[in-house]
Amino acid sequence: MIPFNDLAAAEAILEPLGNRLAAVIVEPVAGVAGTIPADPEYLPGLRELTRRLGALLVLDEVITLRLAPGGARRSTASSPT
């Protein structure tokens, strides 16, 4: 478990795992917490971190598809990859 919207904490938790980390699964908008959106730098930061560690970044878009075409990732992330 990593804290939502805390990239520094995510890095501190995930970086020691190195290549043992397979994937990070995150909701771009925390639905269980009352639809709290990700900070603008959080998802791109997680993408860079998981790319560096060789892990997948999985965005759970089940709830967020109604926010924008393509879901919250399209409305918050700086690039589609």
Tell me how many domains the chain contains: 1
Residue 69 within a domain: yes
Segments forming the whole domain that contains residue 19? 7-76
pLDDT of 27 reads: 85
State the pTM of this model: 0.72
DSSP, collapsed to helix, strand or coil, labels residue 26 as: strand
Q: Examine the pLDDT at 80 and tell me if it is beyond 90.
A: no
pLDDT of 14 reads: 97
Residue 81 within a domain: no
Residue 41 within a domain: yes
pLDDT in tens, 21-67: 999 999 888 776 677 888 999 999 999 999 999 999 998 866 655 55
pLDDT in tens, 69-79: 666 555 444 44
Burial class, 28, CB count within 10 angstroms (exposed 0-12 / middle 13-18 / buried 19+) = buried
